[in-house]
């Protein structure tokens, strides 16, 4: 879940947006004794607020694919 709040501003001041992400992570796959990597992918979509175009597009986007690469050590 991701949440953004704009504190001030002329177009989005005081507004919020919330996103949910469904996905999977594969890892930790070891490269050396101390270093590994994990990779993940997910689909993120806006759950609030309802889409509005004026005065500014909120939420900033409706849906998006995301990819994550992590290197734990």
Number of domains in the chain: 1
Residue 66: pLDDT band with limits 50, 70, 90? very high
- pLDDT band (50, 70, 90) for residue 1: confident
Provide the residue range defining the domain that includes 50.
2-70
pLDDT reported for residue 56: 84
Report the pLDDT value the prediction gives residue 64, as an integer from 0 to 100.
93
Tens of pLDDT, residues 6-63: 898 878 888 889 999 999 999 889 999 999 999 999 999 999 888 888 888 888 888 9
What does DSSP say about strands 16-30 and 36-48: parallel, antiparallel, or unpaired?
antiparallel
**Alpha carbon distances (Å) from 34 to 27, 31, 63:** 14, 8, 36
């Amino acid at each position: 879940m991701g949440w953004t709040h704009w504190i001030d501003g002329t177009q989005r001041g005081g507004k919020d947006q919330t996103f949910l992400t469904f996905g999977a992570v594969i890892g930790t796959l070891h490269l050396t004794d101390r270093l590994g990597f994990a990779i993940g992918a997910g689909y993120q979509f806006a759950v609030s607020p309802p889409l509005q175009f004026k005065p500014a597009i909120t939420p900033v986007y409706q849906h998006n694919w995301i990819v994550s690469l992590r290197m734990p050590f």
